[in-house]
Structure 1
């Protein structure tokens, strides 16, 4: 229930007066043009920098030839797919572009630097471990048999080391691909967390996966290519932004 304002207070309230201020159209347009010209210069400078520093890695072709995977990479999409056949099983690996971790640090004062130098070795190792854990790439592996059965591995790679997070059996491959990674298994039971499985079962599942070429070499490739993919998409975005601002 909304309480009523007493009449004695209502009489003291002055009506709200709104003043409308209209800036001349030419002034607004001049401001837009000025900021637009500044933005174009900054974008063009960034674009030139990215194009100059981008170097295509020849090791990508080498890995594809040695691993036997077919690389499927749509330049307008952040998804990347690797496919190959091993016997009657189709191996599908999917991952996405990812942004690099920020390596910029704020300048430290001399006293702060001295304190940092006094840190013991254990603290430094903990910091390095935290940085390593934050630099990772997720990917999904589908092992699709000719009879339609599909085994799915949700994996993470860090510094070329592949770790399995979840193993599940799925029915619809295309429907599963559309589900966001961290929403998979929320509705239906898709198996326990991999780390909770018996150690022998964990090792056996990992060895089975390695038999299809899902190894540390693949992990290192995914880490590198996901960053390379993001950089190419960023250059493409800068190009599109430049076109918008100039036309």
Structure 2
């Protein structure tokens, strides 16, 4: 992002208060009793509505918003249309929601790929650098890459579902685990009961511990269903696009709120 909002520290200064005689009225004092107008003291220090901070913040938010809008391309980027057409996926992307779903059919199977834009925020700075430290980091031709976790669900009517946890990075899909659900609803249902039932199920072995030949066949199985290098390249690129779009909308929402 082009710029960041600066936050100011506010220092609260308190003055000591003489409370000795109030706590123990039997103790006399050499000093005359002074009556304080408490309500006047507090009202004089009360903050005023509509101070300059509101206007300054709204102005800065608007500056950032206008800059981000000026750098955005109009319409849907070409890479999205090309990927969806070439791989027969449909995309479900709701504004304000960080999860995105890709879906398609393959024979008698319904396939869903779920991923989140939060991965771009969880990635460390080192994950955005090329592996070769000698490469010029300012070279714009070097593709930015970071790991994206994607949950792939393959469901057959009446036959249950398989959920495959994967990580996409550098144009490759790495499989972490493969789990079978006899009840296909458990693969996607988001409820406390479904979550409780999933916890009690056998999740299967670690994928890396499987026979190498079995691993290769699972990878071919996924590639035939569009879980391939094209998807691995698409996911981080789409996350960057959506994160920028959500950030711009966040600026707009914050500006509108502060300005009212």
Instruction: Establish whether TM, by shorter chain, passes 0.5.
Output: yes
Deviation, 1:63, is 0.9
Partner of 1:84: 104
Q: Which residues in structure 2 correspond to 1:170-185 (within 5 Å)?
A: 170=181, 171-173=183-185, 176=188, 178=190
Aligned partners of 2:54 and 2:258 also within 8 Å: yes
Deviation, 1:160, is 1.8
Deviation, 1:146, is 2.4
Alpha-carbon distance between aligned partners in 2 of 1:175 and 1:59, rounded to the nearest angstrom = 30
Stretches of 4+ moved more than 6 A in 1? 14-17
The alignment covers a number of residue pairs equal to 206
Partner of 1:74: 94
What SS does the corresponding residue of 2:237 show, helix, strand or coil?
A: helix
CA spacing shift, 1:214–1:15, aligned 2, 3 Å: farther
Q: Deviations over 1:163-194 (max 9, x none)?
A: 11111012243664538xxx996543211221
Q: Which residues in structure 2 correspond to 1:159-238 (within 5 Å)?
A: 159-170=170-181, 171-173=183-185, 176=188, 178=190, 186-238=199-251
Partner of 1:29: 48
What SS does the corresponding residue of 2:51 show, helix, strand or coil?
A: helix
Q: Which residues in structure 2 correspond to 1:7-18 (within 5 Å)?
A: none
Deviation, 1:215, is 0.2
Aligned partners of 1:160 and 1:223 also within 8 Å: no
Unpaired runs of at least 5, structure 1:
1-13, 105-121
Q: Report the structure, 1 or 2, having the larger helix content.
A: 1
Instruction: Return the structure number with greater relative CO, CA threshold 8 A, min gap 6.
Output: 1
Alpha-carbon distance between aligned partners in 1 of 2:78 and 2:255, rounded to the nearest angstrom = 29
CA spacing shift, 1:123–1:213, aligned 2, 3 Å: closer
What TM-score does the superposition give when structure 2 sets the normalisation length?
Answer: 0.68
Q: Deviations over 1:196-241 (max 9, x none)?
A: 2121111111111111111010111111111211111111111111
For residue 117 of structure 2, the aligned residue among 97, 111, 114 is 97
Which structure is larger by alpha-carbon Rg, 1 or 2? Answer: 2
What SS does the corresponding residue of 1:24 show, helix, strand or coil?
A: helix
What TM-score does the superposition give when structure 1 sets the normalisation length?
Answer: 0.72
Alpha-carbon distance between aligned partners in 2 of 1:123 and 1:226, rounded to the nearest angstrom = 24
Alpha-carbon distance between aligned partners in 1 of 2:110 and 2:209, rounded to the nearest angstrom = 28
